[in-house]
Amino acid sequence: MNDNQLRMFWVGIVLISVFGLFPPWRYQFDVTHNGTTVREGGSSPAYWFHFILAAPSNPFYPEELRQRNALSSSDFNDNRVLMLLIGNANSSYSIDFQRLFIIWFLIALITAGRIYTIQARSVAGKEKSA
């Protein structure tokens, strides 16, 4: 393995480590209305990547709503407020391992491809000079 290949290998390792420290997150929420629980899951682009030791903040109880006493008419266009109005919303967060493994796989695939390409160029360059 030459210097360029080794450098590309370490770039791949660093990228995998960074995405391991800042993984994608997903949220799951339960909404209770009149005793019926509606369970929905999903992820939001606003909560994709966060530090692994600090889960994202709760999207259903934003700080600005806690600080205000009254809701304005613009709040009714916000889905988070609608969830608060129809019942109790509880959220939980977990790391989205499916996305994390896809990201790691793509980084490993691209890194391996670049290492192979660098090797092929190196071999072709040596053959031309010989």
Give me the pLDDT at residue 63, please. Answer: 46
pTM of the model: 0.66
CA–CA gap between residue 17 and residue 104 (Å, rounded): 9
Rounded-to-10 torsion of CA 100, 106, 108, 113: 180
Mean pLDDT of 17-28: 88
Crossing angle (nearest 10°) for helices 97-129 and 3-21:
170
Least confident range from 14-18, 19-23, 25-29, 50-54: namely 25-29
At 86-105, the pLDDT tens digits run: 455 566 778 888 899 999 99
* Cβ–Cβ < 8 Å for 128, 90: no
CA–CA gap between residue 27 and residue 43 (Å, rounded): 6
The confidence band for 110, taking pLDDT boundaries of 50, 70 and 90, is: very high
CA–CA gap between residue 58 and residue 54 (Å, rounded): 12
pLDDT at position 66 over 50 = no
Ordered by start, the domain boundaries in the chain are 1-24+97-130, 26-95
Phi, psi of 68 (to 5 degrees): -95, 150
* Cβ–Cβ < 8 Å for 10, 115: no
